[in-house]
Structure 1
Amino acid sequence: MARPQALMIQIATGDPRPIGRQIVDAVRMKIATGELSAGDQLPSVRGLAQQLTINPNTVAKAYAELTTEGWLEARQGMGLYVAAPRQRLSDDERERRLDDAIGRFVNDVIPLGFAPDEVQARVEHEFRQLVPRKIA
């Protein structure tokens, strides 16, 4: 039987996002970057809650959201596993979310006064660091 994949995530107390949102975002990122692969088993609700020293209900809600969105799949009596890759959102929804994310990013970055070329170079660098398998 496969052992659960260690889920090396950290919760930042100063982060404005709720703890559950931080868990959801971290798991999505680990799957999107290939750090977690289809079929990898995640820690149990209790196990992750103990690791992060948070309420198990918070982990359960985050896992439920990830399962509903198709990132994870529950296997009866066995636990939660990373689901096989598939397009989880419609093309229109993906476009809408991209537009929203870019809008938030631009609104946060413009007041900082960086030149557009520098911002683009930094974004490209981060993409290359986070998604080396996806770009290559």
Structure 2
Amino acid sequence: MLLQSYDGYIYILPALPDALPNGSIKGLKARGGFEIDIEWKNSQLTKLTITSTLGGNCRIRIAKNSNLKSKTQLKNSTGENPNEYYQVNTIKTPLISDKAELKGFPVPETQVFDFDTEKNKTYVFEVK
């Protein structure tokens, strides 16, 4: 609901419930030795603080219309995440019956960024 850490990235506010339109949380742990603090207002990210305890690449996924401002240089993500803690296992293509009635649900559009981190350094991003 507030953070997912899998499949090569850290997803910020992936499923924020309508009952929590405003809030903040500190100290969430993510793979790769990252500690995350999040603030949001009107169900939109307003501030993101990431502390790296191990160093290495940090890949974040956020809502498409979030415009992060920081001294930290973000770059659009491409390919596999080079951080060894985010290696994605190869899986076989799933079998899906032609008789299955799969019902989709709307998934919000997102954007994915990478930035290099140093051990025990904190990175702050504000949404403008």
Q: How does the TM-score come out when normalised to structure 2?
A: 0.29
Structure number with the bigger relative contact order (C-alpha 8 A, sep ≥ 6) is 2
Q: More helix per residue: 1 or 2?
A: 1
Which of 1 and 2 has greater Rg? 1
Q: More strand per residue: 1 or 2?
A: 2
Q: How does the TM-score come out when normalised to structure 1?
A: 0.28
